Structure 1
Amino acid sequence: MKDHLAQFPDFHKYQSNGLLVYLEYGYGNQLPLPTRKYIQNLLKVNMEGQYGPEWPSEEKVKRREMVAPEARYIFVRQSSNAITTQNIMKQDSRLEFTHEACNEDRLIGFVHYRFVLEEDVPVVYVYELQMESSAQGKGLGKFLMELVELIACKSQMGAVMLTVQKANNLAMAFYKKLRYVIYSTSPSQVDPLIGLEKNYEILCKAFESEAKSILEEGN
């Protein structure tokens, strides 16, 4: 599939809690310069404090990852006339909007994910889920993770995986609520002493028994 979002028309837009946004698909090696600058800046705003003194070196790694050919993106755009559009939709519920209709509207977040092998299990690995503060706490993050999980299942992946900074308590609580568990080879699971030295955990959510046995239970 050239556009995984095309398979799920119900996820082309999100409207809830006063937020109206549209989603579109992208590739890491095809990012326009303004888009590339935006995602780099948003990542820095959201994550520099979480990484602390490690951020300068981590930022270099992440910038390379972001433009790799295997990087897949779901971009979140807020309509420039969102208020007007909301009013129109209230008046006429028959109106439909697709994710292709908003290319010039303002970006407010993104998901960066890839298809990878983990312990010989094909998984979708979420590298980044980043949103502006104005879009947080409104159910959008859950909506986006549900979409990623649907993409993983539709693509016959065994699980969704991601890495979370231990200091990011909100993110840890968010993924726990979505029933993500600590990966069997996350540092804290391999060796408690190593786990104490590392500032991150690897989380996963398996969709079938074999993947669950390997990734969650370490069998």
Structure 2
Amino acid sequence: MTAQEARYLIARSVTNKDDLKGFLLFQMVQEELMDEDMMANCTYCYELQLTENARNHGLGEFLMNLLYQIGCYWKMDKVMLTVFKANEGAFKFYTKKLGFKLDEISPGACLPRYKAKHFDYELLSKPCK
């Protein structure tokens, strides 16, 4: 969280600037592709955290859409993130609401099911247009 390359989107209350509602931590990185000689330029979401009272009001969706716009503006190949399989709400949020799909290097996409089940996470991505 303190890496020099780290960037934050910070959400605050409109009426009280000291009332933080949440943040999104991201970096512009290069990620592997299935073709070992190729890399993808990615806007990678490392953290999305909202206070309890800020959830379910569209703030997470707003921050993620803003991140997607940033990635597209800077001509990145895709926006990526890691989600734990056990966090079904987050998985549904990213895939159903925001349109993310399993990335080609995600365990569930590139490994046989019997191997992928040993991983507790998946990598999701959405191509920048």
Does the TM-score normalized on the shorter chain lie above 0.5? Answer: yes
How far, CA to CA, are the matches of 2:45 and 2:25 in structure 1? 6
Q: What's 2:19 paired with?
A: 106
Matched, 1:116 2:34: no
Identify the match of residue 184 of structure 1 among 101, 104, 110: 104
Q: Unpaired runs of 5+ in structure 2?
A: 33-38
**Paired AA for residue 75 in structure 1:** I
Structure 1 runs (4+) greater than 3 angstroms displaced: none
Alpha-carbon distance in structure 1 between the residues aligned to 2:79 and 2:128: 8
2:52 to 129, 133, 138: 133
How many Å apart are 1:140 and its aligned residue?
A: 0.7
Give the TM-score taking structure 2 as reference length: 0.88
Q: Which has the higher strand share?
A: 2
| Gap runs ≥5 in structure 1 | 1-65, 83-101, 209-219
Conserved? CA contact 2:68–2:128, under 8 Å = no
- Of Structure 1 and Structure 2, which has the larger fraction of its residues in helix? 1
CA displacement at 1:132 relative to structure 2: 0.8
Q: Which of 108, 111, 115 pairs up with 1:194?
A: 115
Does the Cα contact within 8 Å between 2:79 and 2:126 map onto a contact in 1?
A: yes
**SS where residue 114 of structure 2 aligns?**
helix
- Contact kept? 2:8, 2:25, Cα under 8 Å: yes
Question: What is the alpha-carbon distance in structure 1 between the residues aligned to residue 44 and residue 83 of structure 2?
Answer: 12
Query: What TM-score, normalized to structure 1?
Result: 0.53
Tell me whether 189-198 or 171-180 shows the greater mean CA deviation: 189-198
1:77 aligns with 2:12: yes
The corresponding residue for 1:174 is 93
* Identical-pair percentage: 40
After TM superposition, give the deviation of residue 185 of structure 1 in Å.
1.2
Structure with the greater alpha carbon radius of gyration: 1
Q: Residue 205 in 1 paired to residue 126 in 2? A: yes
1:68 aligns with 2:3: yes
Q: Distance in 2 between matches of 1:159 and 1:142?
A: 17
Counterpart CA distance in 1 for 2:46 and 2:23 is 11
